[in-house]
Amino acid sequence: MRRFLLLLFIAVLLNDIILVAQNHDLILSQTNKSGIYKKGRKISVIAYTPGQAGDSLKIRVLKNNTQILKKATTVIERDSLVVFEGTFSDPCSIIVEVRSKEKNSAIGLLVEPEKLRPGASCPKDFDSFWEKQGEILKALPLDVKTTDVADYEVEKGYSCTDTEINCPGPKPARGYFAKPEKASPGSLPVVILVHAAGVKGSWCRSEPGNAMKYAKMGALCFDLNAHGMLNGQPDNYYEGLEKGELSRYYLQGLTNRDEVYFRGMYLRLLRAIDFMARQPEWDGKRILVLGESQGGGQALVAAGLDKRVSAVVAIVPAMCDWMGSLADRMGGWPQPFESKASKDDMLKTLPYYDAANILKKSKAIIFTEIGLIDMTCPATSVYTAINQAKSRKIIYAVPYRPHQKPEESLAKTWEETVYKPRELFIQDYLR
């Protein structure tokens, strides 16, 4: 942890130097380099446009991702110009986008994000609902099936198996389980990997190499796929699922509390945690859940639903503040409340699966990265959720990050100030 704290200090120092979001020669700078403001504070965003005099500049300013505060076109007369000024009295997000003839750039900011609260209230029977789900899981005796990994050479001193765990999901939990061989009982931490949204892409499938990476770091690792689908299948298997039963899976069952698709996803996650906690090598203390986007949302959910989870790394997490639109904010991915389903029915179902409610009982360390120009998992939705947790939080709010990794011109900055501290946090936590 000492190395992590040192790198965190270096990241902060670099952020003192790096004040802008840029796309080659179209550069944006804001009053506060961190992108975080107190209410009533004057905010200025300046565009630097060297060598573009006479060109036009299109400006768009969004509040809470959806409300257009400004839309204008101006002629560039000098090397810099103020593209936005304002003050705000309420917690909110602001995204400033500019586009010239060939260049574009965007920068984001937040006003008092620590005061954001969920768009809808938590159901009174929320705790009893999840206690019942836990009882359903416990009532089903654990049944585990393993097969050797095909087309992957497992290094000597480690084991890796394609593992299936029964679950009332209705699908089983499936993934790859890797560990160092001959580890002493009670000696190793657990890592559970969860994936971003999708079905057929490489980013949403479990892979032996993912699990082996953390096994080599001295952990018991389970790489869980979100859907309970078979691992290691030909591409046409995943393409068939994407076009068939898993087509728009994230909008399935929105109006029935017991049929919301995320119920099965969350139960499979809890089942995987239970399986890993039964491994004799587990040290009984550390369970780290790691994911991005949909996986980041699952990581937060794990922290809120299972007290054994001691830390999570949630990168631009989804499934947060789904009813944010009731507070004039965009909800988190997949924006189910913005769908065409009955709003009245969704208000009776979705709050049970919203990380903004689930996190209230979290005791885990939360390491999160938030993109302040993210239009998929809005910054306000993530802050709303993590505000509910009373545990320790390490927050990287990145003014120039969209949902994907930052563009090439900012990649090095991001690697040094965000990615490396994250990796060092993981290494130190597992040491």
What average pLDDT score do residues 198-212 get? 96
Instruction: Point out the least confidently predicted range of 24-33, 67-76, 91-100, 392-401.
Output: 24-33
User: What confidence score (pLDDT) does residue 19 get?
Assistant: 44
CATH number at residue 274: 3.40.50.1820
Q: Output the CA torsion sign for 69, 75, 78, 79.
A: positive
pLDDT exceeds cutoff 70 at 249: yes
Whether residues 32 and 69 fall in one domain: yes
Q: Which long-range contacts (CB under 8 A, 24 or more apart) does 136-145 make?
A: 136/168, 136/267, 137/167, 137/168, 137/267, 137/270, 137/271, 137/274, 140/166, 140/167, 140/168, 142/166, 142/274, 142/275, 142/278, 144/275
Predicted pLDDT of residue 52: 87
Looking at residue 8, its pLDDT comes to 53
Residues 238 and 102 in one domain: no
Collect all residues with Cβ–Cβ distance below 8 Å to 244 and sequence separation of at least 6.
Answer: none
Give the integer Cα–Cα distance in Å for 405 and 309. Answer: 27
297 contacts 314 by C-beta, under 8 angstroms? yes
Do 60 and 155 fall into the same domain?
A: no
pLDDT recorded at residue 102: 81
Tell me the mean pLDDT in the region 157-179: 96
Average pLDDT over residues 124-148: 97
Tell whether the model's pLDDT for residue 13 goes beyond 60: no
Tell me the residue range of the domain where 27 lies.
20-115
pLDDT of res. 3:
57
Question: For residue 150, what pLDDT is reported?
Answer: 84
Predicted confidence band at 4 (pLDDT cuts at 50, 70, 90)? low
Asked if the model's pLDDT at residue 5 lies above 60, the reply is no
Q: Percent of the chain having pLDDT more than 90? A: 90
- For residues 76 and 167, membership in a common domain is answered with no
Within a domain: residue 407? no
Q: Is residue 417 part of a domain?
A: no
**Which positions ≥6 away from 17 have C-beta within 8 Å?**
none
Contact 81, 46 (CB under 8 A): yes
Q: Are residues 171 and 68 in the same domain?
A: no
Average pLDDT on 187-200 reads 98
Query: Model pTM?
Result: 0.94
Split at pLDDT 50, 70, 90, the class of 23 is: very low
Question: Are 82 and 191 part of one and the same domain?
Answer: no
* Residue 25's pLDDT band (cuts 50, 70, 90): confident
Residue 271 maps to a domain:
yes
